[in-house]
């Protein structure tokens, strides 16, 4: 992190790919897209993250916010895993996630029941997160891969319904719902934007703005991490201008992140940040300060405070 990154979340990848000898022989997969073998939830990742965090000195711990990820969001027992992690490692974790519901190339590879935005197991998890004060980072594609243009993204309505069901929970929608092939395509609004006319159809930024402008969803935020997101945001000068305008309109609702997986050095870690400079140069200085640090501090300082308070009440010896 050096002296350029003041603070960060810290979490492990919750999915492990089965080492299937019949599939790849002696090749051992180390990433969830390496082979055709199924994925499974690797719960030990939370204990490992806690162990590594606790090995640091106080100054370094203060810069990190460990997150719980080793639970199955399609399992009604998932919430019990989260509670047990807090009970086992009090004083460590600030939130849950990034965990995935619908994720391109990944969801269909996970053994067992497919996660869903309508599964009550997920509602149980988000209810508990609200009770304990855990900040939630959820990855859910807004649409299916290779979706047709001029249609409302498949998962948008289900996601909005989920957000509305959990007003007491701080929820960050990772990557604004985009992915490698989940692109910010234009959609045709119902009853407007008649094909063949000049009336503008809704697009991805409009959908995000709808959520941010809805007073019922003041608890919802968006992270702009991942190089795929900055690729879309800087595709043309016109798009850059629209993204910048949205940031200035809702300066307290976006969080910057890199989404880097084990970067080799600081140069690699800052690569995504540097690609945002063309947009950061268009927005107000106070907006940039909020997106790059202020919003994070506000949400995670409050998350730490609330989780520690929950631990003091529910965990013997809680800090």
**What are the pLDDT digits (tens) for 7-34?**
999 999 999 999 999 999 999 998 888 9
Buried b (16+ CB within 10 A) or exposed e, 120-149: ebbebbbbbbbebbbbbbbbbbbbeeebee
Q: What whole-number distance in Å separates Cα of residue 315 and Cα of residue 318?
A: 5
> Does the pLDDT value for residue 72 go beyond 90?
yes
Domains of the chain: 71-314 (3.20.20)
**Of the candidates 315, 317, 305, 314, the residue with the CA atom closest to the CA atom of residue 135:** 305
| End-to-end Cα distance, the chain | 27
Across 97-124, average pLDDT: 95
CB 125 within 8 A of CB 74: no
Q: Which two tokens stand for residue 245?
A: 């305008």
The answer to whether the bond into 289 is cis (omega within 30° of 0) is no
Alpha-carbon separation of residue 206 from 116, 161, 240 (angstroms): 24, 17, 14
Across 202-207, average pLDDT: 90
C-beta neighbour count of 152 within 10 angstroms: 16
What order do you get walking across the sheet with 135-139 strand by strand? 8-10, 64-68, 95-100, 135-139, 171-173, 220-223, 254-255
Q: What is the pLDDT of residue 319?
A: 67
> Does the pLDDT value for residue 264 go beyond 90?
no
């Amino acid at each position: 992190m050096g002296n350029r990154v003041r603070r960060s979340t810290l979490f492990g990848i919750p999915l492990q790919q089965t080492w299937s000898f019949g599939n790849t022989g002696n090749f051992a997969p180390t990433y969830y897209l390496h082979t055709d073998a199924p994925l499974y939830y690797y719960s030990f990742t939370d204990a490992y993250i806690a162990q590594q965090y606790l090995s640091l000195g106080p100054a370094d711990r203060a810069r990190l916010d460990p997150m719980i990820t080793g639970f199955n969001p399609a399992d009604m027992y998932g919430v019990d895993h989260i509670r047990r992690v807090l009970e086992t490692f009090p004083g460590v974790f600030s939130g849950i996630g990034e965990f995935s519901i619908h994720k391109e190339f990944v969801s269909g590879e996970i053994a067992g029941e497919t996660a869903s935005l309508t599964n009550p197991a997920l509602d149980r998890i988000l209810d508990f997160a609200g009770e304990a004060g855990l900040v939630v980072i959820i990855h859910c594609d807004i649409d299916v891969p290779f979706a047709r243009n001029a249609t409302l993204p498949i998962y948008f309505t289900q996601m909005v319904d989920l957000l509305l069901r959990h007003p007491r929970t701080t929820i960050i929608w990772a990557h604004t719902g985009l992915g490698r092939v989940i692109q910010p395509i234009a959609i045709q609004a119902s009853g407007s934007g008649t094909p063949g006319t000049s009336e503008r159809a809704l697009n991805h930024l409009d959908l995000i703005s709808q959520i941010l402008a809805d007073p019922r969803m003041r608890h919802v935020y968006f992270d702009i991490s991942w190089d795929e997101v900055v690729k879309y945001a800087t595709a043309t000068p016109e798009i850059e201008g629209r993204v910048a305008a949205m940031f200035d309109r809702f300066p307290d609702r976006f969080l910057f992140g890199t989404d880097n997986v084990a970067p080799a050095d600081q140069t690699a870690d800052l690569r995504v940040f540097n690609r945002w400079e063309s947009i950061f140069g268009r927005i107000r200085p106070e907006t940039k300060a909020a997106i790059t640090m202020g919003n994070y501090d506000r949400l995670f300082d409050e998350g730490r405070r609330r989780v520690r308070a929950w631990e003091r009440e529910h965990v013997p010896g809680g800090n």
